[in-house]
A and B are shown apart, each in its own frame.
Chain A
Amino acid sequence: MRGRRFTDTTDFISIDYGDEILIGGKRYIVKGFARESRFGIEDPKFWVKRAVDAETGELKIIKLTFLESYETSIGGVKIKCFRNPQKEGKILEIVRNHPSFMQGETYLDSKGNFVRVLDVVRGPTFFNYIDRFKMKYEDFFQQVLPGILKKILQAAEAIRFLHINGFKHGDIRNDHIIVNSADGAYVWIDFDYDYEATENPFGLDIFGLGNVLIYAIGKGFHNIQMIANDKRIYGDLIDRAELEDFSILFKRRFINLRKLYPSIPKMLNDILMHFSQGAHVYYEIVDELIEDLNRCLYSAFD
């Protein structure tokens, strides 16, 4: 049986497998919806459809308007978050052909909903990419990490580009970077989140970048439970760890990685410590982080 045709996508939950979305003068056949996998749990995103262009057969991601808003607590600080499709549409316009961002077009459907038709970026998320390196830490540090840091630097430059244009990414996480299989570039996806304005408007984006760095340099995250329970890997670290060694917002995340891996240069570790409970000075703009990382790459690795 042929699917239904939708020009109004307001009731996005009812748009199902085999249905067609007519938008931007094209016909897209829905093949399913996206899921986000976090901590082993699959989270369905019914407003994000996987679809093929009926004319070309090309796979697309179609994001429909979902005006979600909620209050979240980050490190005990409550902050209002919003899903803002219009903002994602504006960013898509300014990042056209930028290799560090997902690409796509935004259209209005018959009811004025913002519909984003996105190209699929093929490759693993940064979260899964790092997890694939099964070598010893010293080998990872010597052979792989310098290349990864150079790519993170480019990704941070891309975020700087957003900030100087007045936009936040809004949801910087390890699984919102795709390592593009075609050229290895780190590509930012999912920038429809926004949060309430504060005196530190780019603070959470910068914190997100800090987490990407901590994840990369640590070859994964290390939390207090892991350190306390796995003496084989962490040795006596639990006895040496102090409150100041943990993340300012994710209180159980260990970020003074030099205590775990002494080969990490102090200069590089100091960047991470800007995100620790012991920090007295924070990065206010992404340029400051870029400058420190750049200096570190040239003096500690070359």
Chain B
Amino acid sequence: MKNSMLIAMNDSLSARAAVDFVANLAICPEEMDITLLHVFRKPSAGEELMGEKFMKEQPARYLKAMEKARDKLVGKGCNPKTVRIKLVEDPYPTVAEGIIDQFNKGDYSMVVIGRKRMSKAEEFVRGDVSVKLVRALQGAAVLVVTTK
């Protein structure tokens, strides 16, 4: 069975590290289906109130990061026809919920995500997408690429 990979990303260092890791894997890249995914988290009502302009600029910003990631993967031998970009603009309560929903809607066997180094306090306050994916995804490989 052909494997299909979902790479969850934004424009952060840890997302770039995840793409780099996949690009450098010693596999047959031309036979791999890859979807680069970005989902939005629903802002709190207060954020919406304060940062309307900022919010509107976000889709273009992430699209640019995903196009760069696709170029990198193609440059490393991936088939341009099987590296797709998916930007889901309808926001989810959390990013983890968005990735899980998109995973369940598609036909993926693996999810790749970057994880930046966090203190315990930061993990407590901000939460950790990768931990939620490992806990929630059934029948999938979850590859968490951590940054130094």
Is A196 in the interface zone, CB < 8 Å from B? yes
For A202, give the chain B residue with the smallest CB separation.
Answer: B127
Q: Given A69-B50, A82-B50, does the pair A197, B43 have CB atoms closer than 8 Å? A: yes
Residues of the B chain whose Cβ atoms lie less than 8 Å from the Cβ of A197: 41-44, 47, 94
A84 x B46 contact (CB < 8 A): yes
Residues of the B chain whose Cβ atoms lie less than 8 Å from the Cβ of A81: 46
Residues of the B chain whose Cβ atoms lie less than 8 Å from the Cβ of A194: 44-47
CB within 8 Å: A-B pair count: 89
1/0 per residue, CB under 8 A from B, across A74-116: the answer is: 1111011111101100000000000000000000000000000
Within 8 A of A (CB), among B49-90: 49-50
Within 8 A of A (CB), among B105-148: 119-129, 132
For B128, give the chain A residue with the smallest CB separation.
Answer: A199
Closest CB-CB distance, A250 to chain B, in whole Å?
Answer: 10
B44 x A75 contact (CB < 8 A): no
A84 x B125 contact (CB < 8 A): no
Is A1 in the interface zone, CB < 8 Å from B? no
Is A67 in the interface zone, CB < 8 Å from B? yes
Give the docked Cα–Cα distance between A69 and B45 (Å).
Answer: 12
Is A277 in the interface zone, CB < 8 Å from B? yes
Binding site for A on B (CB under 8 A): 41-47, 49-50, 93-96, 119-129, 132
B47 x A207 contact (CB < 8 A): no
A75 x B46 contact (CB < 8 A): no
Besides the known contacts A82-B50, A87-B46, 6 further A-B residue pairs in the complex with CB atoms under 8 A apart? A77-B122, A168-B44, A196-B43, A199-B96, A201-B93, A249-B124
A80 x B47 contact (CB < 8 A): yes
For B43, give the chain A residue with the smallest CB separation.
Answer: A197
| Interface band, chain A | 20 to 34
For A90, give the chain B residue with the smallest CB separation.
Answer: B45
> Residue A195 contacts which of B44, B93, B121 (CB distance < 8 angstroms)?
B44
Binding site for B on A (CB under 8 A): 67, 69, 74-77, 79-84, 86-87, 168, 194-201, 203-204, 207, 248-249, 277, 279, 282, 284
B121 x A199 contact (CB < 8 A): no
B124 x A282 contact (CB < 8 A): yes
Residues of the A chain whose Cβ atoms lie less than 8 Å from the Cβ of B123: 282
A200 x B127 contact (CB < 8 A): yes
B127 x A82 contact (CB < 8 A): no
Closest CB-CB distance, B114 to chain A, in whole Å?
Answer: 14
Residues of the B chain whose Cβ atoms lie less than 8 Å from the Cβ of A168: 44
> Residue A248 contacts which of B47, B50, B121 (CB distance < 8 angstroms)?
B121
Give the docked Cα–Cα distance between A82 and B43 (Å).
Answer: 12
Residues of the B chain whose Cβ atoms lie less than 8 Å from the Cβ of A77: 119, 121-122, 125-126
Residues of the B chain whose Cβ atoms lie less than 8 Å from the Cβ of A249: 121, 124-125
Closest CB-CB distance, B93 to chain A, in whole Å?
Answer: 7
B45 x A203 contact (CB < 8 A): no
B126 x A248 contact (CB < 8 A): no
